[in-house]
């Protein structure tokens, strides 16, 4: 019959396993701290949102389709920042104002 390991040997083994788990958790914490630092750095480096945006249609050289306020959630992927004067000019020329952010109201046209 084989001898069972002593209680002391089993406790030492359990301690080694626990230390390995703590090391793994420390690695996870360090990785999460790096990700958070990178996220914060990205937030600081992000350029400010423009005040006014013009959205373009699909296709190369397509005409503008809509004017948005810079904070609008409905701005499409094909867009360009514009100045207040450009936004006023486009809206005065009959370009559609976004129905969600109402740039015509913010610009004082209505």
> What predicted TM-score, i.e. pTM, was given to this entire model?
0.61
Segments forming the whole domain that contains residue 78: 52-106
Say if CB 97 and CB 104 are below 8 A apart: yes
Q: Which of 61, 60, 68 is nearest to 95 (CA)?
A: 68
29 and 13, same domain (yes or no): yes
Measured CA to CA, the distance from residue 90 to residue 94 in angstroms comes to 7
Tens place of pLDDT for every residue, the chain, 110 residues? 568 889 999 999 999 999 999 999 999 999 999 999 999 999 999 999 899 999 999 988 889 999 999 999 999 999 999 999 999 999 999 999 999 999 999 888 76
Same domain, 35 and 60: no
Q: Clarify whether residues 82 and 99 are in a common domain.
A: yes
Count the helix, strand and coil residues of the chain and give each as a percent rounded to the nearest 5: 45, 15, 35
Tally of domains in the chain: 2
């Amino acid at each position: 019959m084989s001898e069972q390991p002593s209680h002391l040997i089993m406790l030492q083994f359990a301690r080694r396993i626990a230390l390995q788990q703590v090391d793994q958790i420390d690695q996870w914490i360090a990785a999460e701290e790096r990700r958070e630092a990178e996220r914060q750095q990205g937030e600081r480096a992000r350029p400010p949102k423009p005040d006014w945006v013009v959205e373009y249609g699909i296709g190369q050289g397509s005409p503008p389709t809509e004017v948005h306020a810079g904070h609008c959630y409905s701005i499409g992927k094909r867009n360009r920042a514009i100045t207040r004067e450009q936004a006023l000019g486009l809206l005065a020329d009959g370009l559609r104002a976004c129905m969600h952010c109402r740039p015509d109201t913010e610009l004082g046209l209505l």
